[in-house]
Structure 1
Amino acid sequence: MTRTFRALLTSTAIIPLIAASSAWAQTDVPPATNPAAAAPAPANGAPETIQDDAANDIVVTGYRAALGSAQEVKRNSDSIVDAIVSDDIGKLPDNNAAEAISRIVGVTVTRYNDEAGVILVRGLPDVATTFNGREFFSAEDRVLHLQDFPAGVAAGIEVYKSGTPDLIEPGLAGLVNLRSRRPFDVKDTEIAGEIRGSYNDQSKAFDPSGNLLLTKRWDTPIGEIGALVNLSYVRSTYRNADRYADSAVITPKGFGIDDPADDIHVTTPGVGNFNFPANAGNFYEKGIRHRPAVNGTIQWRPSANLEIYAEGLWQAYRGNVLRDSFNVNFERRDANGVAPTLSNVVLVPGEPDKAASFTKTGGYVPEFSRVAQDDRTDTYQGALGFKWTTGRATLSGDFAYTNSRYKATEITVDSQLATAPTINVDWNARGSAVFDLGGYDITNPNNARWRGYNQKEFVTKGDGIQGRIDLDLETDWGFLPHLQFGVRASDRNASSQNNNRYAYVAGLDIPLASLPTGALGMITDGFRDDPQRFQNWLAPDRNAIIANSEALRQLAYQAVQRATILFPNDGGIRDAVTKYATAAIPVDPLGGFTASETTYAFYGQGKFAFDLGGIQVDGTAGARIVNTDGAYRGFSRVPANGTTAIVPTTTRQNYVDVLPSAIARIRFSRQWQVRLGYTQTRTRPSFGQLNPSLNITANSPGPDGSPPQFDASGSGGNPNLRPLTSKNYDATLEWYFSKNGSASVAAFYRDLDGFISNYTQVLNDPIYGRLQLDRPENAGKGRIKGLEVSAQTFFDFLPGLLSGFGVQANGTYLDGTNELPQVLGEGGRQVQITGLSKWAYNLTGFYEKGKVSTRLSYNWRSGYTTSYNRTLNEVQYAGELVRPVSRLDFSASYEPIKGISIVANVSNILAQPFNNYRYYNETQYFGRDLRVEGRYMSVGVRFKM
């Protein structure tokens, strides 16, 4: 863009308000549908409503009103949208906005470390996200991380499953807008908040959280003014336990193809070659998350036809993480080159080539690690906007600056046992491997050795300026009452730098207890009634590792200097001597990239409306045109004339997307309506995927002088990636039979192209020769078709106390495939899209009567595939799959005094473990991970006055 646009926006007074996550208190009807709320709509245009009565009181008092508000958003939207609003979020038994959104039909989430993370809409993760209708991002990402927004601070979340031209261009899956509250949403003054304490049954920790919202409106000589400030803090402590089997599956015979003496020894009579995972182990992660946030808004209405607003946001994350892992290897040789021995081998009945259990002696010693990580994010956004109506024209604008930075520091102490114990392993105990170390004394510090020391520093940053102007013109044409036009420009910068160093000291036989970190202690696990026989081992204290990081660095420096004498031909040790000579980690030019990207967008659309034989038809039709101009910079390592050079690399992209859209609503009556839509969407590749850096290394001849299979090998990003595109067809049938009662059916089809995958290809390069290159590439075509069904109602017609019951239910069916990329000359193959569950549903029961409100929610999704990988023969693809996932959550509130409620939640009541498995050929698999997650229980007080 340039500097001209950046300077223009800066001079337009982007007010750097210190602010944060989103508004606390709740609104009944979102600004898009509420005449009393004069703030601009979440999207660039406001849909026409068909409510019976304009809502003058926007205070939500219960589930009925909240469900009714969400229903009206869906009913009146120009787009195909589902939403949750107001207390519909505040009263969900959820910890953050990502958890809350998982209740919406067609939306699923993936969870890790006790919270929802990645959002998938109709099976696709490529979701654009906005905050109050404008772009919002974290560091070098393109998206808003909903898990960083506490569920109670949002006034609403809208999921646009088909976009209109006035929306910021949606991703393949659609667009998610998180909307905060504004001061003109209330009549006068409001003070609201909540104080809550939570307990996690795995971490055994109590955590506080709270929020406070202050908002007030004034009538002044210069017009009406409103101000809002919202403060929030959430702390959560989690503890997960995972036992696993490796994804790599091996056989005892085959390592020594030329020399059978290299094979693993098997002593069980009558047992031939068989398959088993190469590793098994335990992985524990414990962390404390701190999420403070502040946001503020000022609205000024100097006259009835003009409104000006300024708002700001500060959203932060602070994490303190501890990771422990213990790994047993079943294939590697010991320090003297002696292969392990397998005895007591039992094979799976009916699968004679698959191991059920065995005993391993000798071979490589088990390894274990302790990782201490501290990370933090700070994201700021300041915005200034207006809405001005003059005659038949309404002009609105929004200008914003966003700045975000993420930094993580990580220290790892690697260890190993002094000798190899006897390992007894069972490969399928409730879904994954369990093992023990026989009679080995794991509590004896003399049995632990220091293996290595690793330090990492990772910093990503991003900032951007954006601005839009929208014009809505009323016309005299009965069939086309509105014409809408708009322009938008944005200027984004992103960068990432990853520096690390590793000192391998295993050959020096240094006792782990001799490190300057004090006495070793037994780690704590997070298993709950699990069959894993081996669960705990010795490790240095986390705080001691961090406090003594410089002493450990100096010790590592001395150790690798000694190691160069014992291992003079080890290039990695020589490299570690250089990197550990200074207190600061040297900058690795290959570990970073920078990107700058400017986009210009123009849209035009008409809002049509006409009567067809007594049936009302309305909708929108138009197109959005987007020009993307990007520059992506990094460094590449390439061989030249027998030496290696690191050279800067810069690439550019400039392309135009034309995204047409046409959506019609056919209203047969005030209760029944049908929508039909056709749209086109696209998703840009991430900045990391566009990183132009390449790391190419010339391959050496074999030990016998034979030429390598490939002359060179390389990896990196791909600045030539094109956006993922989709042609979308939608149809819905909607029935609104009461203010909070509705039912709908939606059918959809997506014609997809350009999925991005990392894979290996072989090129005949004029410089490097036969080059094996691993990097992201656009894969082939795909498609998704599906059906959504949803319904909600309260049983008000029942007598007495029974009238307090209500229900909400929805279900989704998806069938989606995409073409795997062509590799090594093999043609692509249609497989199920990763992350897509064929079936998913939510069931929620309510009871709300008088001072009591309760909700019980059950969420279920069928199994899904997470990745596809080549089998050992590199001909067929096999996949890693996740078993069905379910959750049960409960919340309740009691209002003993008007405006003050006692609230209680229990999340993840079933505590069903996460379990996945991996195929090692087309028909056979081993269990992979069995992860045990925590239950959350909380009690608090909510107030409003």
Structure 2
Amino acid sequence: MTRKPILLMGVALMALAGAAPAWAQSDANSGETPQTPSAQSSATEEEILVTGIRASLASAREFKRNSDSILDAIVAEDIGKLPDNNASESLARLPGVQVSRYADEASGILIRGLPDVGTSFNGREIFTAENRTVQVHDFPAGALAALEVYKSATADLIEPGLAGLVNVRSRRPFDFKGLEIAGAIRASYNDQSKKTNPNGNLLISNRWNTPIGEMGALVNVAYNRFYYNNAIRYTNGGVDPVANSKATLPAGEAADFRLPYSVGLYYPRGLRERPSVNGSLQWKPAHNLEIYADGLWQAFRNQGSTESFDVSLLRAAPKNAAGVEVPPTLSNIVRVPGEPNKLVSVSKTGGYPAEMFRSTSRDFTNTYQAAAGFVWNTGRAVISSDFAYTFSEYGANERSLDSQTASAPPVNVIFEKEKSSWFDLGNYDMTNPANYVWRGYYEREYYVSGAGIQWRGDVALDTEIGWLPKIKFGLRATDRDAKRRQGNRYAYTPTLNIPFASLPTGSLEQVQDGFRGDGPPFRNWLMPSYDAIQGNAEALRQLSYASLQKIVAANPNDQGYKDALQQFSTQAIPMDPYGGFYAKESSYAAYASAGYAFDVGIPIDGSVGVRIVNTDGRYVGTSKVTAVDGTVSAVTDTNRQNYVDVLPSFGLRAKLAQGLQARLGFTMTRTRPGFGQLNPAFSLNRNTDAGSGGNASRYAFFGSGGNPDLKPLTSKNYDATIEYYFGRNGAVSGAVFYRDLKGFISNYTRDVNDPVYGLIQISRPENAGTGKIKGFELSAQSFFDFLPGWLSGFGAQANLTYVDAKNQLPAALGTAQPMVSLTGLSKWSYNLSGFYEREKISLRLSYNYRSSYIDFYSRNSNDQQYTGQSVRPISRLDFSGSYTPIENITLTAEVNNILAQPFSNYRYFNETQYYPIDTRYEGRYYSVGVRFRF
């Protein structure tokens, strides 16, 4: 069949075919507006199927152009072909979006400087376990049709977070004309793990005319599998005055400098899998009525291992048989010129032994969502309703085996070489099993879950009034719960001096690092294998129990050892009564909005509306309080919150000329605190390491928990854009934005001098004070169709974002409340992409950059000021290409993280001086595959 007008993968731009998918029409931009069939059966059979980068850019452009909101979107180039391995990686290519990365994948998302991003799937709220949002990177790219980032709200949109809303879009059977079978198979090789990973997706869809109306069915299956292997050199972020320690200095050397508490190596690695299945049924019993049902299961599986080596520079050795505590000796002290309180390098002998562990874990996520609804078009009114049930769970099982050196090895440290510490252990033989002593065994079980129902009803009324063409109103109700249970136990055994090689885990193996080329002088040590630890858990438990019996007999008054003995007396890990919480929360929302349109020499349209939301929640936890005399008491705390938010919104679009339009917007948004953050439980624990030297030994107690007094974050948002659209896929746009926010939540650590407990270090979430975010975005995209011949296949896309964001530190941290840069936010970020697409060839080269940012703030020891830990700028370069030798078969090749630039950060210990912290080396991926479509 010869196809002539343009169909862009069942999305926007069916102008020549006579219809556009409902979700790409301007009337369906709201996250709560129902979807209608994406391709009308009356559409002509004469069309040209356009796929690839051109189609993706054109579809996303039209969606942005016709939206009631200020947004950006990414549309799959073809079925199962977003430009990256997961949804978060793709979002990083949009203006105003920044992501954090760990273990070779993008995870956390910030929009215009804020991490509080609402998430929805096909317009419905979705979440992971006890969280309020879904982990977007859990969506395999092969399962998705589009990603939509709403940067401003409308009244009918599910209330987004402060940052905005990410809507993940899948396909439905009416998106296609009939039988559709499409998919992809791909193999990826990681140059650090040295493993090959299979990935794939398959979509089958069909639609039929039956005596009871038109029906359609679709199922889409996706599977991603990745081995990852990172290598991290680190310097401990605790930067201490040496005067706080018991370290011995050379004669005449003043104790007026600071140095990190320890240095070490850290190797996270594992096998990560993400299976996903989504399906949809659609039925049109009449031309103006559609009934549908959707289902989703997405999962995460991880089999991980983390190897750690840490050697303290300041900690004194445990008391010897004579009861004498032996401090470390520092020598070869080289100070930074002009900065006498900071060191270039140092050597250490004596003190505390080096510590190692291998943590083995198996964790999983299952998220299910089932939904059904209808869309009834009466002519002047569209009436719709949607009901959904969501259940999500996350569980983790961890077993960690710890060791330490039989004696303290010498350490020679250069604090900053290739952006982090560089050290060796002199002539200490770390390949000799006799130099290892068993230090302990740790087990943990963790489980969180959440379930929720949501219902909405909407009416969109065509008024037939020229200046007030449309009115929308609707109701929404949700009911959520969230719960957590966890337990852990630890047997601390170094006092028994048990040879590490004698454990039931068998012979020791050399830990393999993930460094490329030349790494640090010391990088490998001995540990039992992953399987040896996981496969001998019961034997390790029994050994721990027997060992603790001996330790308790020698320390009959130590309650900590008694508690550990009791915990290891059963095969199952006892659940911690203080480690759980339960939350129950309902919300009720009503909205009304009106679309307006008039002409004042130029056409103007837009919408104005208000959304009113009532939140009613109950949050329960159990506090653990350790008295000065060591006795422990438990108190069950319940926190109730009930509040109403009134969220107005206003948007205006002015069509200034052909293809040129401007927008103005004002919205109010808010984000509820997380369920775990609202947990009223608080734990106060005695410091068992007091007096051993170093910063941590200064505290008598440590306190941590949630904060029942947290308030929702609120923000007033002002936006303005200018947009110019040209050609079939060309666009240039600019945006300025301003956010006036209050109550941003972060975890903060502070010191409290209590008259009863003494010096306590407390860590918990706090509402910050007021904050301001301002910035601008620039973006452009086009194929160079005006060039002659093969040159017309070139195209480019670029965007630039600048964000200046500050907020006050919480009042609880002190009276000064200084304004500081918002955590996690880079001031500058940009993306550059070059394309070539012509006939059978499609190529893309994409560069991403984000400038430095603050990781977190905390107080240094003995300081009354807060300083930050900062991350250095990072760049990323990715390539993808495809070749279509025959119709419907495409060969693909990709290289991700070509530059392989290591992640690195550094810790300030005053306003101008810092020590480097981590340098993390991540994998480079090479992929080849094939896509098919019939």
Give the structure-1-normalised TM-score.
Answer: 0.92
Structure 1 residue 669 displacement after superposition: 2.2
Structure 1 residue 127 displacement after superposition: 0.4
8 Å Cα contact 2:9/2:51 also seen in 1: no
Q: Is the deviation greater in 594-603 or in 764-773? A: 764-773
1: CA distance between counterparts of 2:184 and 2:559?
58
1: CA distance between counterparts of 2:399 and 2:761?
33
8 Å Cα contact 1:30/1:73 also seen in 2: no
Q: How does 1:595-614 map to 2 (within 5 A)?
A: 595-613=583-601
Corresponding residue to 1:317 among 289, 297, 300: 300
1:684 corresponds to 2:672? yes
8 Å Cα contact 1:714/1:771 also seen in 2: yes
Corresponding position of 1:448: 436
Mind listing any 5+ residue stretches in structure 2 that lack a counterpart?
1-7, 37-41, 692-696
2: CA distance between counterparts of 1:763 and 1:31?
64
8 Å Cα contact 2:734/2:779 also seen in 1: yes
* TM-aligned CA distance change 1:629 to 1:457, over 3 Å: same
Q: How does 1:48-87 map to 2 (within 5 A)?
A: 59-87=49-77
Mind listing any 5+ residue stretches in structure 1 that lack a counterpart?
1-24, 49-53, 256-262
* TM-aligned CA distance change 1:763 to 1:187, over 3 Å: same
Corresponding position of 2:904: 915
1:866 corresponds to 2:850? no
Structure 1 residue 849 displacement after superposition: 0.7
How many residue pairs end up in the alignment?
903
Corresponding position of 1:359: 347
2: CA distance between counterparts of 1:81 and 1:886?
25
1:625 corresponds to 2:609? no
Corresponding position of 1:368: 356
Structure 1 residue 136 displacement after superposition: 0.6
SS at match of 2:203: strand
* TM-aligned CA distance change 1:597 to 1:272, over 3 Å: closer
* TM-aligned CA distance change 1:654 to 1:911, over 3 Å: same
Q: Which amino acid aligns with 2:621?
A: G
Structure 1 residue 761 displacement after superposition: 6.7
1: CA distance between counterparts of 2:430 and 2:759?
49
Deviations 1:593-642 (A, max 9, x none): 010110100000000011112x1000010100000011111112246897
8 Å Cα contact 1:450/1:511 also seen in 2: yes
Corresponding position of 1:111: 101
8 Å Cα contact 2:748/2:858 also seen in 1: no
Corresponding position of 1:756: 745
1:193 corresponds to 2:176? no
8 Å Cα contact 1:837/1:864 also seen in 2: yes
Q: Which amino acid aligns with 1:273?
A: D
2: CA distance between counterparts of 1:709 and 1:371?
28
SS at match of 2:465: coil
Corresponding position of 2:880: 891
8 Å Cα contact 1:58/1:185 also seen in 2: no
Structure 1 residue 208 displacement after superposition: 0.5
* TM-aligned CA distance change 1:213 to 1:91, over 3 Å: closer
Corresponding position of 1:652: 640
Q: Which amino acid aligns with 2:810?
A: P
Structure 1 residue 575 displacement after superposition: 1.1
1: CA distance between counterparts of 2:619 and 2:116?
21
* TM-aligned CA distance change 1:77 to 1:196, over 3 Å: same
Q: How does 1:33-182 map to 2 (within 5 A)?
A: 35-37=19-21, 43-45=31-33, 59-87=49-77, 91=81, 93-182=83-172
* TM-aligned CA distance change 1:31 to 1:268, over 3 Å: farther
Corresponding residue to 1:634 among 615, 621, 642: 621
Give the structure-2-normalised TM-score.
Answer: 0.93
Q: How does 1:733-744 map to 2 (within 5 A)?
A: 733-744=722-733
* TM-aligned CA distance change 1:30 to 1:586, over 3 Å: farther
Q: How does 1:401-420 map to 2 (within 5 A)?
A: 401-420=389-408
Corresponding position of 1:385: 373
Corresponding position of 2:39: none
* TM-aligned CA distance change 1:196 to 1:544, over 3 Å: same
8 Å Cα contact 1:267/1:343 also seen in 2: yes
Q: Is the deviation greater in 449-458 or in 770-779? A: 770-779
SS at match of 2:512: coil
SS at match of 1:562: helix
8 Å Cα contact 2:856/2:868 also seen in 1: yes
8 Å Cα contact 1:333/1:340 also seen in 2: yes
Deviations 1:440-470 (A, max 9, x none): 1111111111000000000001110001000
* TM-aligned CA distance change 1:193 to 1:714, over 3 Å: same
SS at match of 2:765: strand
* TM-aligned CA distance change 1:269 to 1:843, over 3 Å: same
Q: How does 1:298-697 map to 2 (within 5 A)?
A: 298-335=281-318, 336=320, 337-613=325-601, 615-638=602-625, 643-696=631-684
Q: How does 1:757-836 map to 2 (within 5 A)?
A: 757-759=746-748, 774-823=763-812, 825-836=814-825
Structure 1 residue 765 displacement after superposition: 10
8 Å Cα contact 2:747/2:765 also seen in 1: yes
Give the share of equivalent positions with the same residue, in percent.
Answer: 56
* TM-aligned CA distance change 1:755 to 1:836, over 3 Å: same
SS at match of 2:542: helix
1: CA distance between counterparts of 2:838 and 2:252?
71
Corresponding residue to 1:286 among 258, 269, 293: 269
SS at match of 1:796: coil
* TM-aligned CA distance change 1:710 to 1:531, over 3 Å: closer
Structure 1 residue 873 displacement after superposition: 2.8
Corresponding residue to 2:202 among 189, 212, 215: 212
* TM-aligned CA distance change 1:413 to 1:380, over 3 Å: same
2: CA distance between counterparts of 1:41 and 1:605?
13
Q: Which amino acid aligns with 1:378?
A: N
Structure 1 residue 696 displacement after superposition: 4.0
Structure 1 residue 565 displacement after superposition: 2.4
Corresponding position of 1:296: 279
Deviations 1:511-547 (A, max 9, x none): 1111111110001000113441110000001101111
* TM-aligned CA distance change 1:524 to 1:793, over 3 Å: same
Tell me how large the CA RMSD over aligned residues is. Answer: 2.6
Corresponding position of 1:19: none
Q: Which amino acid aligns with 1:118?
A: G
2: CA distance between counterparts of 1:901 and 1:140?
41
8 Å Cα contact 2:265/2:308 also seen in 1: yes
1: CA distance between counterparts of 2:175 and 2:154?
25
Q: How does 1:212-231 map to 2 (within 5 A)?
A: 212-231=202-221
Deviations 1:71-119 (A, max 9, x none): 0010000000100112179555521011011111110100000000000
Q: Which amino acid aligns with 1:645?
A: S
Q: Is the deviation greater in 595-604 or in 346-355? A: 346-355
2: CA distance between counterparts of 1:640 and 1:541?
41
Deviations 1:244-302 (A, max 9, x none): 001111233333xxxxxxx3112276565322111000000111011111111000011
8 Å Cα contact 1:158/1:178 also seen in 2: yes
Q: Which amino acid aligns with 2:617?
A: G
Q: Which amino acid aligns with 1:248?
A: G
